[in-house]
Amino acid sequence: MNIPQYLVNEYYDDRYFDVVNALDEAKLIYFDGCNILNVLSAESAVQREFRIGETGFGAGRLFLSLMDFMDKRENVGKTISYNSVELHPITSARMDSILQSFKPRIGPLINLLVESYDKLDITKPGWRQLEFTRSFGTITLNLWIGEALEMVNSLPNACDAWFLDGHGPKKNPTIWRPELLMAIGEKTVLQGTCATYTVAGAVRRALASAGFTVERVPGFGGKNSVLKGVKTNEGLPEKEILF
């Protein structure tokens, strides 16, 4: 399969996502894997903020997919804090180019994000914020320009769910290093969730060390299996992890 050049991240020599099924992939791997809809549906009448963390914003594919996913649900009055990080932020024009294949499905959402993102100063490190009012409630994008561990350490509150993205371990090993995954475990509420497309043994062991009980589940498209996890404890010494 020839991958369009605009879909390749030049820093990691890897494509951003599957150009054909990326939106459906996001739902199966990340939203279902993190049990997003059931958790939000179970919220009490007293609303609270639901916090999501993401490692690797890229062109905003998961953020857009989540807005589309939530827009189609009956739940209303939700407040979502979406905390993401990008070490190599792209321009709004590049974002629009990368997302062009999804415009028949979510064109208005893409235009909304691109136009809002264009107003951000992505040349300096630190937090940037965009807020969107949707039919389901409010979603705030908190985007950290810089390194992932810095972003995790600067989070004021633990997250309810983590979308572990950011290219595969072979292409971008730093985003999967044990130190970072341990910090993510520390910034996850008890019974919080995580999901990722990679099933690499080193990633499974690092997540288990960080306190997640992880399991393989059926994948999507050409991917046989993916991972989902639940934060069940404060972490285990690596010698006690058996897989």
Q: Name the residue with higher pLDDT: 195 or 2.
A: 195
Is residue 95 scored above 70 in pLDDT?
yes
Q: How confident is the model at residue 18 (pLDDT cuts 50, 70, 90)?
A: low
Backbone angles phi, psi at 81, to 5 degrees: -105, 120
First to last CA, the chain: 33
Nearest-angstrom CA–CA distance, 67 and 29: 16
Q: Model confidence over 54-87: pLDDT tens digits?
A: 999 999 999 999 999 999 987 778 999 999 999 9
Q: Length of the chain, please?
A: 243
Give the pLDDT confidence score for residue 24 in this predicted structure.
Answer: 86
How far apart are the C-alpha atoms of 188 and 167, rounded to whole Å? 21
pLDDT digits (tens, 9 = 90+) for 129-148: 999 999 999 999 999 999 99
Share of the chain above pLDDT 70, in %: 82
Q: Which of 72-86, 109-123, 126-140, 213-227 has the lowest mean pLDDT?
A: 213-227
What pLDDT was estimated at residue 231? 97
Q: What does the pLDDT average to over 38-47?
A: 66
For 117, residues 6+ apart whose C-beta sits below 8 A from its C-beta are 60, 92, 95, 130
- pLDDT at position 8 over 90: no
pLDDT at 242 over 70: no
In sequence order, the 6+-apart residues with CB closer than 8 A to the CB of 96 are 110, 114
pLDDT at 42: 72
**Residue 223 and residue 196: Cα distance in Å, rounded?**
12
| Position 110 pLDDT exceeds 60 | yes
Scanning the structure block, which residue is given the tokens 């792209």?
A: 90
Name the class of domain 13-240: alpha beta
Half-sphere exposure for 217 (CA within 13 Å, toward CB): 17
Q: What is the pLDDT of residues 26-35, one digit of tens each?
A: 898 899 999 9
pLDDT at residue 235 above 70? no
In the chain, what percentage of residues exceed pLDDT 90? 65
Please tell me the pTM assigned to this model. 0.88
**Domain extent listing, the chain:** 13-240
Dig out the tokens for 113 from the structure: 């994000």
In Å, how far are 8, 35, 48, 207 from 68, measured between CA atoms?
24, 16, 21, 29
List strand residue ranges (DSSP E) for the chain, in order.
8-9, 14-15, 49-55, 78-86, 126-134, 137-145, 159-164, 188-196, 212-218, 225-231
